[in-house]
Amino acid sequence: MELAEAMRNRRSIRRFEEKEVPRELVDGILETARWAPSGNNVQPWRFIVVTDKGKIAPLSEASNQRWIASSPMVIVCLSDLNVFGSHGSYSAF
């Protein structure tokens, strides 16, 4: 599938089955995300895989996206701004 086709045919999922996401699938998603280009190849992203329902519920509240609470897993993507210090002037951060 080409990127443009994937973007045109994307859809949002807000109802989830109560089953575990296979580790191999999660690893594949994270590996694909890791290959995304970044300026100076600093790769400032960090990923946290959350499967604990007790931790997913507060994430749902904090993001104001209640439907997340029913998800069996959440991948939190963070930006590590510390990586920019050694790669030029990013004083805006």
Question: Which CATH number goes with the domain that contains 36?
Answer: 3.40.109.10
Note the pLDDT of residue 90.
Answer: 53
- Around Cβ 44, how many Cβ atoms within 10 Å? 17
Residue 31 lies in a domain: yes
Note the pLDDT of residue 43.
Answer: 87
> What stretches in the chain show pLDDT beneath 50?
93
Residue 8 lies in a domain: no
Residue span of the structural domain in which 28 resides: 22-81
Residue 7 lies in a domain: no
Residue 11 lies in a domain: no
Note the pLDDT of residue 51.
Answer: 94
Note the pLDDT of residue 32.
Answer: 92
Domain count, the chain: 1
Note the pLDDT of residue 30.
Answer: 94
Residue 56 lies in a domain: yes
pTM of the model: 0.74
Q: For residues 25 and 55, is the Cβ–Cβ distance under 8 A?
A: no
Residue 64 lies in a domain: yes
Note the pLDDT of residue 88.
Answer: 55
Note the pLDDT of residue 76.
Answer: 94
Residue 4 lies in a domain: no
Residue 86 lies in a domain: no
